[in-house]
Protein backbone atom coordinates (compact mmCIF):
# COMPACT_ATOMS: atom_id res chain seq x y z
CA UNK A 1 0.00 0.00 0.00
CA UNK A 2 1.32 3.42 -0.84
CA UNK A 3 0.96 6.16 1.73
CA UNK A 4 0.57 9.86 2.13
CA UNK A 5 4.28 10.73 1.88
CA UNK A 6 4.75 13.13 -1.03
CA UNK A 7 7.53 10.99 -2.56
CA UNK A 8 5.41 7.83 -2.62
CA UNK A 9 3.06 6.72 -5.35
CA UNK A 10 -0.50 7.84 -4.56
CA UNK A 11 -3.01 5.46 -3.03
CA UNK A 12 -5.58 4.86 -5.73
CA UNK A 13 -9.16 4.42 -4.56
CA UNK A 14 -11.86 2.44 -6.30
CA UNK A 15 -15.24 3.65 -5.06
CA UNK A 16 -18.22 1.30 -5.34
CA UNK A 17 -21.68 2.78 -4.86
CA UNK A 18 -25.34 2.08 -5.52
CA UNK A 19 -27.17 5.32 -4.80
CA UNK A 20 -26.94 8.86 -3.49
CA UNK A 21 -23.17 8.86 -3.12
CA UNK A 22 -22.79 11.35 -0.28
CA UNK A 23 -19.92 9.35 1.22
CA UNK A 24 -18.19 9.32 -2.15
CA UNK A 25 -18.66 13.10 -2.40
CA UNK A 26 -17.26 13.57 1.11
CA UNK A 27 -14.17 11.55 0.15
CA UNK A 28 -13.77 13.53 -3.07
CA UNK A 29 -14.09 16.76 -1.10
CA UNK A 30 -11.45 15.61 1.40
CA UNK A 31 -9.07 14.93 -1.47
CA UNK A 32 -9.84 18.28 -3.11
CA UNK A 33 -9.26 20.21 0.10
CA UNK A 34 -6.00 18.47 0.99
CA UNK A 35 -7.29 16.35 3.86
CA UNK A 36 -6.20 13.14 2.12
CA UNK A 37 -2.73 13.90 0.74
CA UNK A 38 -1.33 11.16 -1.46
CA UNK A 39 -4.78 9.71 -2.17
CA UNK A 40 -6.63 9.87 -5.47
CA UNK A 41 -9.83 8.42 -6.91
CA UNK A 42 -8.93 5.98 -9.68
CA UNK A 43 -12.47 4.98 -10.61
CA UNK A 44 -16.07 5.15 -9.40
CA UNK A 45 -18.14 2.07 -10.17
CA UNK A 46 -21.92 1.89 -9.77
CA UNK A 47 -24.04 -1.24 -9.98
CA UNK A 48 -27.17 0.82 -10.67
CA UNK A 49 -27.27 2.87 -13.86
CA UNK A 50 -29.23 5.82 -12.47
CA UNK A 51 -27.34 6.11 -9.18
CA UNK A 52 -26.99 9.84 -8.38
CA UNK A 53 -23.44 9.16 -7.16
CA UNK A 54 -22.52 7.93 -10.63
CA UNK A 55 -23.92 11.09 -12.22
CA UNK A 56 -21.86 13.13 -9.76
CA UNK A 57 -18.67 11.24 -10.69
CA UNK A 58 -19.42 11.87 -14.36
CA UNK A 59 -20.01 15.58 -13.72
CA UNK A 60 -16.72 15.79 -11.83
CA UNK A 61 -14.88 14.26 -14.75
CA UNK A 62 -13.70 11.27 -12.72
CA UNK A 63 -13.16 7.89 -14.37
CA UNK A 64 -16.38 5.96 -13.85
CA UNK A 65 -18.15 2.82 -14.95
CA UNK A 66 -21.59 1.32 -14.57
CA UNK A 67 -21.72 -2.43 -14.23
CA UNK A 68 -25.37 -3.33 -13.70
CA UNK A 69 -25.73 -6.17 -11.21
CA UNK A 70 -29.46 -6.82 -11.48
CA UNK A 71 -30.18 -10.25 -12.89
CA UNK A 72 -26.54 -11.33 -12.92
CA UNK A 73 -24.94 -14.13 -10.93
CA UNK A 74 -23.01 -12.60 -8.05
CA UNK A 75 -19.73 -14.24 -9.11
CA UNK A 76 -20.09 -13.06 -12.70
CA UNK A 77 -20.88 -9.50 -11.71
CA UNK A 78 -18.04 -9.41 -9.19
CA UNK A 79 -15.57 -10.71 -11.77
CA UNK A 80 -16.41 -7.71 -13.95
CA UNK A 81 -16.01 -5.31 -11.05
CA UNK A 82 -12.66 -6.84 -10.06
CA UNK A 83 -11.41 -6.56 -13.64
CA UNK A 84 -12.43 -2.89 -13.78
CA UNK A 85 -10.69 -2.14 -10.48
CA UNK A 86 -7.51 -3.85 -11.67
CA UNK A 87 -7.64 -2.06 -15.00
CA UNK A 88 -7.58 1.20 -13.04
CA UNK A 89 -4.74 0.02 -10.75
CA UNK A 90 -6.83 0.39 -7.61
CA UNK A 91 -5.00 -0.08 -4.29
CA UNK A 92 -7.94 0.34 -1.92
CA UNK A 93 -11.61 -0.42 -2.61
CA UNK A 94 -14.09 1.80 -0.73
CA UNK A 95 -17.68 0.64 -0.48
CA UNK A 96 -19.74 3.82 -0.22
CA UNK A 97 -23.36 2.78 -0.01
CA UNK A 98 -22.73 -0.29 -2.16
CA UNK A 99 -25.86 -2.27 -1.42
CA UNK A 100 -24.72 -5.61 -2.69
CA UNK A 101 -23.02 -8.51 -0.96
CA UNK A 102 -19.57 -9.36 -2.27
CA UNK A 103 -18.67 -12.91 -3.25
CA UNK A 104 -15.84 -14.62 -1.30
CA UNK A 105 -13.86 -14.81 -4.55
CA UNK A 106 -13.97 -11.04 -4.89
CA UNK A 107 -12.97 -10.41 -1.27
CA UNK A 108 -10.05 -12.83 -1.62
CA UNK A 109 -8.64 -10.76 -4.47
CA UNK A 110 -8.33 -7.67 -2.24
CA UNK A 111 -7.25 -8.96 1.18
CA UNK A 112 -7.58 -6.14 3.75
CA UNK A 113 -7.93 -3.81 0.80
CA UNK A 114 -11.70 -3.28 0.94
CA UNK A 115 -13.27 -0.77 3.33
CA UNK A 116 -16.97 -0.51 4.08
CA UNK A 117 -18.94 2.13 5.93
CA UNK A 118 -21.93 1.05 7.96
CA UNK A 119 -24.35 3.37 9.81
CA UNK A 120 -24.20 1.67 13.20
CA UNK A 121 -21.73 0.87 15.93
CA UNK A 122 -20.95 -2.67 14.83
CA UNK A 123 -21.48 -5.39 15.88
CA UNK A 124 -24.84 -3.81 16.74
CA UNK A 125 -27.38 -3.57 13.96
CA UNK A 126 -25.72 -5.11 10.89
CA UNK A 127 -27.69 -5.32 7.65
CA UNK A 128 -30.21 -2.97 6.14
CA UNK A 129 -31.64 0.21 7.71
CA UNK A 130 -29.24 0.14 10.63
CA UNK A 131 -30.21 3.64 11.79
CA UNK A 132 -33.88 2.67 11.96
CA UNK A 133 -32.93 -0.53 13.78
CA UNK A 134 -30.98 1.47 16.39
CA UNK A 135 -33.82 3.97 16.82
CA UNK A 136 -36.51 1.31 17.11
CA UNK A 137 -34.40 -0.66 19.60
CA UNK A 138 -34.18 2.39 21.82
CA UNK A 139 -30.39 2.64 21.68
CA UNK A 140 -29.02 5.65 23.56
CA UNK A 141 -25.77 5.77 21.62
CA UNK A 142 -25.63 5.37 17.84
CA UNK A 143 -22.96 5.99 15.25
CA UNK A 144 -21.05 4.55 12.33
CA UNK A 145 -18.24 2.12 11.62
CA UNK A 146 -15.61 1.89 8.90
CA UNK A 147 -14.21 -1.62 8.71
CA UNK A 148 -12.28 -3.93 6.46
CA UNK A 149 -14.50 -6.31 4.55
CA UNK A 150 -14.31 -10.04 5.12
CA UNK A 151 -16.62 -12.86 4.05
CA UNK A 152 -19.30 -12.05 6.63
CA UNK A 153 -21.77 -9.20 6.39
CA UNK A 154 -20.68 -5.99 8.18
CA UNK A 155 -18.07 -7.94 10.08
CA UNK A 156 -14.35 -7.37 9.35
CA UNK A 157 -11.73 -5.58 11.50
CA UNK A 158 -12.84 -2.11 12.61
CA UNK A 159 -10.70 0.87 11.59
CA UNK A 160 -12.79 3.81 12.86
CA UNK A 161 -16.00 4.26 14.83
CA UNK A 162 -17.75 7.50 15.70
CA UNK A 163 -20.51 7.66 18.27
CA UNK A 164 -23.31 10.14 18.89
CA UNK A 165 -26.06 10.27 21.51
CA UNK A 166 -29.61 9.49 20.45
CA UNK A 167 -31.54 12.60 21.46
CA UNK A 168 -35.02 12.62 23.01
CA UNK A 169 -36.06 14.87 20.12
CA UNK A 170 -34.77 12.44 17.45
CA UNK A 171 -36.86 10.47 15.03
CA UNK A 172 -35.35 7.83 12.77
CA UNK A 173 -34.77 10.38 10.02
CA UNK A 174 -32.98 12.99 12.14
CA UNK A 175 -30.87 10.26 13.71
CA UNK A 176 -29.86 8.96 10.27
CA UNK A 177 -28.95 12.51 9.19
CA UNK A 178 -26.73 13.04 12.22
CA UNK A 179 -25.09 9.64 11.73
CA UNK A 180 -24.46 10.51 8.07
CA UNK A 181 -22.55 13.64 9.09
CA UNK A 182 -20.33 11.41 11.24
CA UNK A 183 -19.90 8.95 8.36
CA UNK A 184 -18.49 11.69 6.17
CA UNK A 185 -15.78 12.40 8.77
CA UNK A 186 -15.15 8.76 9.61
CA UNK A 187 -14.49 7.63 6.04
CA UNK A 188 -11.83 10.27 5.46
CA UNK A 189 -10.21 9.39 8.80
CA UNK A 190 -10.17 5.67 7.96
CA UNK A 191 -8.78 6.16 4.46
CA UNK A 192 -6.00 8.36 5.84
CA UNK A 193 -5.12 5.71 8.42
CA UNK A 194 -5.08 2.87 5.91
CA UNK A 195 -3.24 4.86 3.25
CA UNK A 196 -0.52 5.69 5.80
CA UNK A 197 0.30 2.00 5.99
CA UNK A 198 1.19 2.52 9.66
CA UNK A 199 -0.92 -0.26 11.12
CA UNK A 200 -1.16 -3.98 11.50
CA UNK A 201 -4.08 -6.32 11.83
CA UNK A 202 -3.87 -8.69 14.80
CA UNK A 203 -6.70 -11.16 14.62
CA UNK A 204 -9.70 -8.93 14.19
CA UNK A 205 -7.97 -5.92 15.68
CA UNK A 206 -6.73 -2.99 13.63
CA UNK A 207 -3.74 -1.65 15.58
CA UNK A 208 -2.12 1.64 14.70
CA UNK A 209 1.69 1.67 14.68
CA UNK A 210 3.64 4.61 16.00
CA UNK A 211 5.94 5.86 13.29
Binding site residues, ligand GAR, CB under 6 A: 17, 19-23, 53, 96-97, 117-119, 130, 154, 180, 183
Q: Is the dihedral of CA 190, 145, 81, 104 positive or negative?
A: positive
Nearest to 83 by CA among 55, 45, 115: 45
Determine the residue with CB nearest ligand GAR. 97
Min dist. Cβ of residue 168 to ligand GAR (A): 23
Residue closer to ligand GAR, measured from CB, 19 or 156:
19
d(CA 64, CA 45): 6
Shortest distance, CB of residue 97 to ligand GAR, whole angstroms? 3
In the complex, the smallest distance separating the C-beta of residue 17 from ligand GAR, rounded to whole angstroms, is 6
Which stretches of 23-157 are assigned E, i.e. beta strand?
39-46, 64-66, 92-95, 114-118, 141-148
Our CB check for ligand GAR shows the closer of 112 and 118 to be 118
Q: N- to C-terminal Cα distance for the chain?
A: 16
Burial class (CB in 10 A: 0-12, 13-18, 19+), 75: exposed
Q: Which is nearer to ligand GAR, 3 or 39 (CB)?
A: 39
Q: Give least dist CB 117 to ligand GAR, A.
A: 5
Inter-helix orientation angle 130-137/172-196, to 10°: 120
Return the number of other C-beta atoms located less than 10 Å from residue 168's C-beta: 5
118 is catalytic: yes
- Residue with Cβ nearer ligand GAR (3 or 54): 54
Catalytic residue among 118, 155, 173, 184: 118
Residues forming the active site: 118
Amino acid sequence: MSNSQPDRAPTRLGILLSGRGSNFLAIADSIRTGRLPGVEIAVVIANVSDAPGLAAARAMGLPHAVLVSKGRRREDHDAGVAACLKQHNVDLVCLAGYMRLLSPGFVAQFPHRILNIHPSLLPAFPGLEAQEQAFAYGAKIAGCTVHFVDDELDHGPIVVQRAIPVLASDDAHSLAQRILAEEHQAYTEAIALVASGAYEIRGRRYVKRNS
